[in-house]
Amino acid sequence: GDRVAIEPGVPREMDEFCKTGRYNLSPTLFFCATPPDDGNLCRYYKHHASYCYKLPDNVTFEEGALIEPLSVGIHACKRGGVTLGSKVFVSGSGPIGLVNVLVAKMMGAAAVVITDLSASRLQKAKEVGADFTIQVKNESPQEVASKVESLLGCMPEITVECTGVQACIQAGIYATRSGGTLVLVGLGPDMVTVPIVNAAVREVDIRGIFRYCNTWPVAIAMLASKRINVKPLVTHRFPLEKALEAFETTKRGEGVKVMLKCDPTDQNP
């Protein structure tokens, strides 16, 4: 009868990555809905108890479901070293870009600038706490970087790249302050061309992330304390029986986070 949020990645073996607390890197990892592992489009689901986290009474199931994307933001901002007074550039205003804005501000960032092609998504970014937005059109990566610096009044110490697009990765390198950190979150093609020498001679650290680890307790604490609000991320809700329609809505780019619920009329099923 406990209300829980599940962490979808569970290592099958206690290997060296698990022992060092980086179980997300384990090659034995089972991850819901990553082929050949099945996902959760069902009413009843069995999951490893250690990766089921009890939800406090004041955290809804909908908020609990959003811990998964929120965890990406927590892991990325930790990897980037966001702290009090940080100036942060987030590239991409999709769901993952938005959670990085939420988490960066929560961790003490003084200013966050975010870019995207979509004006509506940038408006959503403003709603969740972005200080500045840039709608990218035909600018070069260097021009985007210059706009970021102009709005922040300096080059950001931390850039979180959430698109995986080659030009955006390039802009992330050009934009990041010397000695700063670029975190690559978005996944694009296996091979991209980037100004690696520019990053090297300016000692810009480039760090990747793979999903998340050890984030569910942190996320639950932030939600329970009401220090972070993920509710604006949900733009559409569908019953489980209309899962295909939900996926089509997402594919068309109409929503931010599209939620599947057993009973769409129940705010806390």
* CA–CA separation, 147 and 113 (whole Å): 10
pLDDT of the residue at 268? 47
**Distance from chain centroid for Cα 143:** 25
DSSP conformation class of 85: T
pLDDT of the residue at 269? 42
Which stretches in the chain have pLDDT values below 50? 264-265, 267-269
* CA–CA separation, 65 and 99 (whole Å): 13
Q: Is 233 helix (H, G, I), strand (E, B) or coil?
A: helix
Which amino acid type is present at position 178? S
Q: CB 207: neighbour CB atoms within 10 A? A: 13
Domains located in the chain, CATH noted: 74-208 (3.40.50.720)
Read off the pLDDT of residues 215-247 as tens digits, 9 standing for 90 and up: 999 999 999 999 999 999 999 999 999 999 999
**Distance from chain centroid for Cα 256:** 12
pLDDT of the residue at 1? 87
pLDDT of the residue at 263? 60
Return the structure tokens found at 224. 């329970």
Which amino acid type is present at position 207? R
Are 183 and 162 within 8 A, CB to CB?
A: no
Are 260 and 239 within 8 A, CB to CB?
A: yes
Q: Is 124 helix (H, G, I), strand (E, B) or coil?
A: helix
DSSP conformation class of 122: H
pLDDT of the residue at 239? 93
Are 132 and 151 within 8 A, CB to CB?
A: yes
The H helix count followed by the E strand count for the chain is 10, 12
Cα distances from 223 to residues 107, 109, 113, in angstroms, run 14, 19, 24
pLDDT of the residue at 60? 95
User: pTM of this prediction?
Assistant: 0.94
